[in-house]
Amino acid sequence: MASTISERVELAKLCSSRDWSKAIRVLDSLLSQSCIIQDICNRAFCYSQLELHKHVIKDCDKALQLDPALLQPYILKGRAFSALGRKEDALLVWEQGYEYAVRQSADLKQLLELEELLAIAKRNSSISCENHAVESSGSLPASEPEPLISSNSSEICNNHSKLSGEFELHSESSNSSEIHSESNYRSDVPNESSDKIKNKKFDSQPNGTYGTQLNGTYNILDKSGDESRFWNELSDTSDSSSKLSLICNKSSEISEIRGRSSDKFDIHNEAKRNKKFCVTRIPKTKSINVDMRLSRGIAKVNEGKYGDAISAFDQILKEDPTYPEALIGRGTAYAFQRELDAAIADFTKAIQSNPSAGEAWKRRGQARAALGESVEAIADLTKALEFEPNSADVLHERGIVNFKFKDFNAAVEDLSACVKLDKDNKSAYTYLGLALSSIGEYRKAEEAHMKSIQIDRNFLEAWAHLTQFYQDLANSEKALECLKQVLQIDGRFAKAYHLRGLLLHGMGEHRNAIKDLSVGLNLESSNIECLYLRASCYHAIGEYREAVKDYDAALDLELDSMEKFVLQCLAFYQKEIALYTASKINSEFCWFDIDGDIDPLFKEYWCKRLHPKNVCEKVYRQPPLRDSLKKGKLRKQDFSVTKQKTALLQAADSIGKKIQYTCPGFLPNRRQHRMAGLAAIEIAQKVSKAWRSLQIEWKYSNKSTPKYGKKARRREKINILSQNRGGAGCSTSSSSETSTSCSVVEDRSSGRSMMRWRDVYSLAVKWRQISEPCDPVVWVDKLSEEFNSGFGSHTPLILGQAKVVRYFPNFQRTLSVAKAVMKEKMYVYNKGDNIIDLSEDGKLQDIMNAKSCSDLYRVVDEDFWLATWCNSTAFEGRHLEGTRITLLKMGEHGFDFAIRTPCTPSRWDDFDAEMTMAWEALCNAYCGETYGSTDFGVLENVRDAILRMTYYWYNFMPLSRGSAAIGFIVLLGLFLAANMEFTGSIPQGLQVDWEAMLNFDPNSFVDSVKSWLYPSLKVTTSWKDYPNVSSTFETTGSVVAALSSSSD
Dump pLDDT digits (tens) for 127-164: 554 444 434 333 333 333 333 223 333 332 333 333 33
Q: For the chain, what percent of residues have pLDDT higher than 70?
A: 77
Q: For the chain, what percent of residues have pLDDT higher than 90?
A: 55
pLDDT greater than 60 at residue 550: yes
Q: Which of 125-129, 254-258, 400-404, 649-653 has the lowest mean pLDDT?
A: 254-258
Whether residue 912 is found in the same domain as residue 1038: yes
pLDDT greater than 50 at residue 306: yes
pLDDT greater than 60 at residue 263: no
Q: Which residues pair with 1019 in a beta bridge?
A: 980
Contacts of 688 (CB under 8 A, 6+ apart): 977, 1024
Whether residue 847 is found in the same domain as residue 938: no
Mean pLDDT confidence for 697-705: 70
Position 95 scores a pLDDT of 83
Where residue 749 falls (left for φ over 0; alpha for ψ -120 to 50; beta otherwise) is: alpha
The CA distance from 994 to 512, in Å, is 33
Whether residue 827 is found in the same domain as residue 868: yes
Position 99 scores a pLDDT of 81
Q: Which of 296-305, 422-431, 762-771, 935-944 has the lowest mean pLDDT?
A: 296-305
Give 835-854 pLDDT, tens digit per residue. 999 998 889 999 999 999 99
* pLDDT range class, residue 819, cuts 50, 70, 90: very high
Distance of CA 901 to the CA centre of its chain: 23
Give 945-996 pLDDT, tens digit per residue. 999 999 999 999 999 999 999 999 999 999 999 999 999 999 999 999 999 9
Whether residue 912 is found in the same domain as residue 896: no
The CA distance from 955 to 523, in Å, is 47
Torsion, Cα 728 734 740 741, to 10 degrees, reads 110
Position 106 scores a pLDDT of 62
User: Where is the domain boundary, 79, 96, 127?
Assistant: 127
Mean pLDDT confidence for 80-84: 87
Q: Which residues pair with 148 in a beta bridge?
A: none
Q: Are 1005 and 996 in contact (CB under 8 A)?
A: yes
pLDDT greater than 90 at residue 576: yes
Q: Which of 227-236, 629-638, 787-796, 797-806 has the lowest mean pLDDT?
A: 227-236
Whether residue 832 is found in the same domain as residue 898: yes
User: Where is the domain boundary, 902, 930, 962?
Assistant: 902
Position 462 scores a pLDDT of 96
Do the domain assignments include residue 660?
A: no
Do the domain assignments include residue 475?
A: no
Whether residue 952 is found in the same domain as residue 975: yes
Whether residue 7 is found in the same domain as residue 116: yes
Count of CB atoms situated within 10 Å of the CB of 95: 15
Mean pLDDT confidence for 682-686: 98
**Which residue would you say has higher pLDDT here, 108 or 1001?**
1001
**Which residue would you say has higher pLDDT here, 406 or 629?**
406
Helix locations, 84-213, DSSP H? 87-103, 108-136, 160-166
pLDDT greater than 90 at residue 482: yes
The CA distance from 401 to 410, in Å, is 10
Contacts of 1021 (CB under 8 A, 6+ apart): 934, 979
Look up the CATH number of the domain holding residue 59.
1.25.40.10
Do the domain assignments include residue 620?
A: no
Position 700 scores a pLDDT of 75
Residue 82 sits in which domain range? 2-127
Whether residue 926 is found in the same domain as residue 1028: yes
Mean pLDDT confidence for 331-345: 94
Give 371-422 pLDDT, tens digit per residue. 889 889 999 999 999 998 889 999 999 999 999 999 999 999 999 999 999 9
Do the domain assignments include residue 698?
A: yes
pLDDT greater than 90 at residue 632: no
The DSSP code for 203 is P
**Which residue would you say has higher pLDDT here, 541 or 726?**
541
Count of CB atoms situated within 10 Å of the CB of 198: 10
Whether residue 913 is found in the same domain as residue 815: no
Residue 100, amino acid: Y
Do the domain assignments include residue 96?
A: yes
Q: Which of 137-146, 615-624, 781-790 has the lowest mean pLDDT?
A: 137-146
Position 11 scores a pLDDT of 87
Do the domain assignments include residue 808?
A: yes
Do the domain assignments include residue 663?
A: no
Mean pLDDT confidence for 27-38: 86
Look up the CATH number of the domain holding residue 933.
1.10.3290
Position 50 scores a pLDDT of 82
Whether residue 846 is found in the same domain as residue 947: no
pLDDT greater than 90 at residue 19: no
Q: Structural domain tally of the chain?
A: 3
Q: Are 776 and 961 in contact (CB under 8 A)?
A: yes
User: Where is the domain boundary, 868, 902, 936?
Assistant: 902
pLDDT greater than 90 at residue 483: yes
Position 705 scores a pLDDT of 53
Whether residue 933 is found in the same domain as residue 1029: yes
Position 105 scores a pLDDT of 58
Position 791 scores a pLDDT of 67
Position 743 scores a pLDDT of 53
Long-range contacts of 138-141 (CB under 8 A, 24+ apart): none
Mean pLDDT score of the chain: 81
Contacts of 134 (CB under 8 A, 6+ apart): none
Do the domain assignments include residue 61?
A: yes
Give 108-126 pLDDT, tens digit per residue. 677 677 677 777 777 666 5
Whether residue 878 is found in the same domain as residue 820: yes
Report CA torsion sign: 250, 252, 258, 262.
Answer: negative
The CA distance from 982 to 1015, in Å, is 9
